[in-house]
Each structure stands twice: as C-alpha cells, then as structure tokens.
A and B are shown apart, each in its own frame.
Chain A
C-alpha cells in the first residue's frame, strides 16, 4: 500500500514537472510575437520579408524609426499620449480618492446604495455609449481637444473601487484622533489619510495610466486631426499607410509598446497589487 502510494506520488511529481515544462514553453511562445515585432523593426525593408527569415537580424538599422518620426508626427503623438494619460490619471486619483475616503470613513445617508451604483458602472463599457458621448463632447466643443480625450476617461469608478479597499485597511482610530486634535475632515483626509494609502495611489496611477495609454476607440473618434492623435491611434494608422515596408510599421508599433514594457519591468509588483486589491478576496 505504501509502496503503491509512493509510486503514485512519483507519478504526480512527474505530472507536475511536465505541466510546468509545458507552461514555460507556452510562456516563451507567447513572447515570440513581441520578439518578432522588435527584431523586425530593426531590419531593413528587404530583410524583413526574406524567406527563409533571419531569426536574428543580420544588420541592425534604426532607419525605420527615423522614418516613423520624420514622415509622421510621432513625437507629437507620444506627447499627446503622455499628457492625456497623465492628466486623466491624476484626475481619476483626485476625485476617486475623495469619494473612496467618504465611502470608507464617513457615515452619510444612502452611502451603500450610492456605492453599489458606482460599482455597477464598472460593468458598463463606455464604448457602447460612444454615440451619445461623442455628441456631448461635440456640444461642449471638445472634439479634437485634450479635454475631450480626458473627461470621459475620468468617469470611471475604478479609482473609488481600488482606493476604498486601501482606506478600509487603515484604522478608524487614526481618523478619530486627528479629528479630536482639531483637524477638519479635509485636513484629516489630505494630511493623515492620503499619505497612508500611498501604495494604493501608486498602484492606481500605474494601472490607470496604462489603461488610458492603451485606450483606442474613444481616442480614435475624438482625435481626428493628425496632430491630435494619441500614439496608439496614430500607430494604428500606419497599418493603412501606403508604405509597404513592414519594418516601418513594426517600428511604429514598437514605439507605442516600449514605454509600457519599461513601466511593467519597473513596477511589476504594483500591477499585481492593484489588480488583485479589488478583485481577489482573501
């Protein structure tokens, strides 16, 4: 019996090893398109379509990147993306933190029902309301403007959802002590509570920044002038570009991807923290 058991155990260990080899293999295959993206962008226009392909670029050239920045306002697109993602995220944090603090620490009438309404809005993608949203922005005269790109993206309860969890984890005594010491609610919020939830704000900043950076459909309809496109939308227009050089298109896509890759490498732990803070109950 015990012999049988240890045999079984060995079999299961083998099963574990095999599954992990498969998982690792898939992980590497999953990264291959990105490898191909970056190496293709460094090839010249004839090498990129060579058959059989060069698995490693034989000659490395940055001319495709030069092309992208010379023939397209790619620097402007990048600036637009940084500005729109940055400002949107700062606003999301500002209004989200205020609301999250109230939902977590202040007792007010109807709080639970309002919170549920806020959270249920997370389920509704703004894309399906693109027609009325576009007309509202049009009425405000905000088509082709940064404001038009920013405000609808601030209308997300994601910040409230995420930061409320962080406020919930802070002791109530802290707020009470601050109030007894004579600090007003606003001062308590700004000087005592906000600094404590810095990790939450960090996680929200990164998650939201990436989300707005990668936003496509809304920015596509709102930034119609060439100079008002974000990097994602501008890059996608290279697909319709008459230039048949794939290396050039891959260079454009790489320019859009690199900032996100760097952010991910630097802040990996924030992603896990932020995504799971709202979603995973322990």
Chain B
C-alpha cells in the first residue's frame, strides 16, 4: 500500500513538473491546430463566421494560383533538399578528419549566413541581383550579356531563389554532418586502410552509410523548413513575376493578411499541416524505436 502511494506521488510530481510546458503547449500549439481545422470550414468576416463546409477547399482547388504555389513549393523542396544534402556531404566528408582549426573555419564560414538570418541575406541578395546597380548585373554587362533581371523573368526566378535559400541554409547541415562524421569509430577507417581502400571508397562505403540517420534528420528538417519558405519570397520577388515564385506559405499569408480570406488561409494551413505530418512519420518512427 505504501509502495503504491509512493508511485502515485511520484506520478503526481512528474505531472506537476511538465504542467507549465504542457499548458503553454496546449494553448498555443494543440488548440490552434484544432481551431485551424474548424476555421477552414467557415467563411470568416471581420465580425461574423458562417459555416460553409468544404467550400474553402473547393475554392482552393479551383484557384490556379494555389496549384502554382503547391508546384513551386514542391520544386523548392526537392531541389533545395537535394542540393543541401549533396553539398553538405561533399564539404563535410572532405574536411571531417582535418585539423580542428581548419574544420572550425569551414564550419564557421558556412554557418555565418544561417546566423545572420534569411531576412538579412535576402536584403543583400536583392542588392546583388538588382538589375540597375547590382554586382551580378555588372558582371553580366562586363561579359557583354547586357543587364540581367534574374528575378524579373519567370524562367530564372526559381533557380535564383533555390540558390539563395540553399546557400544561406546549407551551413546547418554541414555542422550536423561534421559532428556525425567525427563520431564514426576510427577503427573502421583503419580496417579499411589495411584492406587497401582509398579515400573515395572510405567516404562512399563507410562514412556516408554511417551517417545515414543524420541524413534522414537533415532531409526532414530541411523539407519542413523549405515548405514554409516565406521571407526570401516576400523580400526578393513578392511572389512574382506573374505568380511565378509564389509559395504555399506566401499564398497562405496573402489570403490571411492581405485579402482577409481567413477561411481559405486556414484551409491552406490544414493542407500544409497534413503534409508535415506525413513527412515526419519516418523521423517519429526512428525516435520511438530509440526509446
């Protein structure tokens, strides 16, 4: 009996310790999810709410800009994640076994753009890409290509945004990979060397497979980060030209805070929520297996 009391007391203490986090969590995270689902079924004006069923979703599926935003988001996710994982693997497998000073220089110089944020980097890039007086336009004139307006053309705007986002954010993946690679047991490499394997074999056959759980983690956090890509769109293109660079998050924001279509915006939010939920399943599985 005493033992049972003890365990009830222990349980109560546990709940007490998690309760502040739990409360904030319920109010600002769990409740908004359900409220978002509810709002997506309503037509919302300044003062009134009217139940409209799935009308908001029907509106979305009849809006070509929504599909443009969806397609652009998928393109961004695929290209940015592949570039990030590929390039981060290249950089970190080249430097992971070098001396500490050099490694920290590499880590630092790729991470600094992450540090100073997408807002600041977008502002610099907007200056660099400015057709009238940006450095990139200057180089293209020097090479007799005339002034270029990379952000003003529907064909070039996506690659430019992909590049800017990738270059700004790749540092985080590099830090994670280097840390994971430093942790790979040394005797694996020694054994490989005894067997006459060269660096290329070591990298492709031992190193990269050893950090596969980090790869999954990096891929997932990047997919989710790119899914909500917003700042670079707002500051560089405003979704243009002609909606060529509009993304789901930008579309959601415009509907909510520019066109006052809160119901439609909520529907976009619900769709994005389902996508993230689906994407996080493998990561969650891994987590649960670990426990």
Taking Cβ atoms with an 8 Å cutoff, the residues of A that contact B are 5, 8-9, 11-13, 15-16, 19-20, 22-24, 26-28, 30-31, 33-34, 36-37, 40, 48-49, 51-53, 94-96, 98-99, 101-103, 106-109, 111-112, 114-116, 118-121, 123-136, 151-152, 154-155, 157, 159-160, 185, 189, 210, 213-214, 216-217, 221, 232, 235-236, 238-239, 246, 249-250, 252-254, 256-257, 260-261, 263-264, 268, 271-272, 275-276, 279-282
Contact = CB atoms under 8 A, between A and B. Distances in A.
Contacts of A135: 35, 39, 262
Given A127-B249, A257-B116, A264-B108, A12 B265 contact: no
23 contacts: A12-B199, A13-B199, A26-B91, A36-B128, A98-B20, A108-B12, A118-B25, A120-B284, A125-B276, A129-B36, A129-B269, A130-B256, A131-B256, A131-B265, A132-B269, A135-B262, A216-B231, A217-B253, A250-B124, A252-B123, A253-B120, A256-B119, A257-B116
A133 B118 contact: no
Interface in B164-208: 167, 172, 175-176, 179-180, 183, 196, 198-200
Contacts of B220: 123
Interface of B is mostly: helix
Interface string B252-289: 11001100001001100100110011011001100110
A19 B107 CA distance: 16
B120 A51 contact: no
Contacts of B115: 210, 260-261, 263-264
B107 to A, nearest CB: 7
A235 B231 CA distance: 12
A53 B36 contact: no
Most buried by B among A96, A121, A257: A257
B230 A33 contact: no
A26 B94 CA distance: 13
A271 B111 contact: yes
Interface residues of B, number: 102
B125 interface: yes
A40 B200 contact: no
Interface of B: 7, 10-15, 17-18, 20-22, 24-25, 27-29, 31-33, 35-36, 39, 90-91, 94-95, 98, 104-113, 115-121, 123-128, 130, 132-133, 135, 138, 141-142, 167, 172, 175-176, 179-180, 183, 196, 198-200, 213-214, 217, 220, 224-225, 227-228, 230-231, 234-235, 249, 252-253, 256-257, 262, 265-266, 269, 272-273, 276-277, 279-280, 283-284, 287-288, 290-291
